[in-house]
Structure 1
Amino acid sequence: MVDAPTSTQFVFQRMLGNVQSGVWETGAQIPSERSLIEEFGVSRIAIREALSMLRGLGVVEISHGRRTRVKSVDAGTLSDLLPLMLIGGQQTFDQVFEVRLALESQTATLAARRRTPEQLSRLDELLAQFRKAMSNGGDKAAQVVDLEFHLEIARASANPLFPTLLEALAGFVSFAQKESCRNDAVRGERAVLAHESIVDAIRDRDADRARVEMESHLRYSMTRKIEAENAE
């Protein structure tokens, strides 16, 4: 039995797929080393290296004298896993955009229905910070505030899975935000107005308008990014 140079990566991806699909459930013991060797047709070294990679990412727990178990996955783990799950390049950002569109349209809808006075106050505060940051040229501080703004809306949905998933996408989200408003005062002003419209809809508890405003904001940002790429 001879391993190809990519055998460890092959096994790693297959194991990760078992976790993602639920074949290996959280808390469950994974098959024995001998069973994995037979299943994947690779050497013991490849199996152990792949398991070590999964352990390093926090996906599995390996205890001395005990079988390896699947751990629960939090936002930090997802952030590490996403670059491995996605293909890269333009297709990756298209995929992330599709997820964001579905995710944040729903968070805005639910936030309008479920937000608390404290959460609305926090959104007003973040809106003011974003407006100030954009007036100063839309630097990195604006990106940080922008991400926190979207995360606060996700928290206001009262579903803890939404902020966890959005936080996992944070690296891709920040890049898209940077690209969509790069060196363009008009785009920056448009972003501020979009944030204002989203907050107003959430303030009025208008779920349908919140969804439409969020979707419009995200679609515009993605369109501007594509236009910027085509102009280069």
Structure 2
Amino acid sequence: MPFKPVEPEKLSLAVIRQIEGLILRGILRPGERLPSERELSERLGVSRPSLREAIATLQGDGLLASKAGAGIFVADVLGSAFSPALTRLFARNDEAVFDYLSFRRDMEGLAAERAARLGSDTDLQVIDTVYRKMEAAHAKPSAEAEAELDADFHLAIIEASHNVIMLHMMRSMYQLLREGVFYNRQIMFKQRTTRDTLLAQHANINNALQSRDPIAARAAVVAHLSYVEQSLRDDVKAQANEAIAQQRFEHEKSRGPK
């Protein structure tokens, strides 16, 4: 007969599965510190030896990392998505910026459609909360704060799509964006008219999601990222034109009076 006796599961395995699940679903994020051993063992309802065994296994798997005197942290697993050589290549290649935006347009359009259909009411509340923060930040002259909230808004939509592969892939992409690999997000917040337009576009996305309209949500994301792409293309063209104008100016000065 194919049956075997059922054996009780080790507590450490149950702890491992719970922490792995939290990392997989993006609830525990890279760099996030775990509670102290005493607090965590109490929350999980397991002994400290069982917890230590689970932590050691997760460290061995590269999901957790210890810092001397600081505690246990979720490992920076996102950094492994792209090799350092490829990251440097992205940073040197202007065309990578537009390939990146094209990729985002496809992926985030799909994520918005899924979020409108599959996101829970709480997921949509998170998105709306981030958008309200964007409104509040809009009144303040901080391009950095607006850019950070912009990233948080888009990641909240991806989280609400409930696809863990997409979540971790897009988080790694956004990490490169935060590091300025693809472009400086603050460029998009230089002009008041651009800032107003961007906020209105995020309002359209949020409204479509809150109405649970998948088609409108996807269309709003596509329209927003198409605008971002065109704005960056215009900026690249303007910089190229200015470089040529500077050459003409320097040449004209060097010719002297006739």
The answer to whether the Cα contact below 8 Å between 1:79 and 1:167 also exists between their aligned partners in 2 is no
Match of 1:123 in 2: 127
Q: 2:202 aligns with which of 195, 198, 215?
A: 195
Identity %: 20
Q: 1:183 aligns with which of 174, 178, 190?
A: 190
Deviation digits for residues 43-92 of structure 1 (CA, Å, limit 9, x no counterpart): xxxxxxxxxxxxxxx99xxxxxxxxxxxxx94232155551674732111
Match of 1:151 in 2: 155
Q: Secondary structure at the match of 1:137?
A: coil
- The normalised TM-score by structure 2 is 0.57
1:77 and 2:80 matched: yes
Q: Could you tell me which amino acid in structure 2 is paired with residue 211 of structure 1?
A: R
Match of 2:237 in 1: 230
Q: 1:101 aligns with which of 79, 99, 105?
A: 105
- Displacement of 1:217 in angstroms is 0.2
What is the alpha-carbon distance in structure 2 between the residues aligned to residue 94 and residue 203 of structure 1? 29
Match of 1:132 in 2: 136
What is the alpha-carbon distance in structure 2 between the residues aligned to residue 172 and residue 135 of structure 1? 27
- Displacement of 1:95 in angstroms is 1.8
What is the alpha-carbon distance in structure 1 between the residues aligned to residue 185 and residue 156 of structure 2? 19
| Number of equivalent positions | 162
What is the alpha-carbon distance in structure 1 between the residues aligned to residue 168 and residue 96 of structure 2? 19
Q: 2:114 aligns with which of 102, 110, 116?
A: 110
Q: Structure 2: any 5+ residue segments left out of the alignment?
A: 1-60, 63-75, 240-258
Match of 1:91 in 2: 95
- The normalised TM-score by structure 1 is 0.63
What is the alpha-carbon distance in structure 2 between the residues aligned to residue 149 and residue 230 of structure 1? 29
Q: Structure 1: any 5+ residue segments left out of the alignment?
A: 1-57, 60-72
Match of 1:205 in 2: 212
Q: RMSD across aligned C-alpha pairs, in angstroms?
A: 2.5
Larger radius of gyration: 2
What is the alpha-carbon distance in structure 1 between the residues aligned to residue 167 and residue 89 of structure 2? 19
- Displacement of 1:229 in angstroms is 2.0
Match of 1:30 in 2: none
What is the alpha-carbon distance in structure 1 between the residues aligned to residue 176 and residue 121 of structure 2? 30
What is the alpha-carbon distance in structure 1 between the residues aligned to residue 114 and residue 196 of structure 2? 26
Q: Secondary structure at the match of 2:141?
A: coil
- Displacement of 1:148 in angstroms is 0.9
1:161 and 2:161 matched: no
The answer to whether the Cα contact below 8 Å between 2:147 and 2:186 also exists between their aligned partners in 1 is no
- Displacement of 1:137 in angstroms is 2.5
What is the alpha-carbon distance in structure 2 between the residues aligned to residue 184 and residue 211 of structure 1? 26
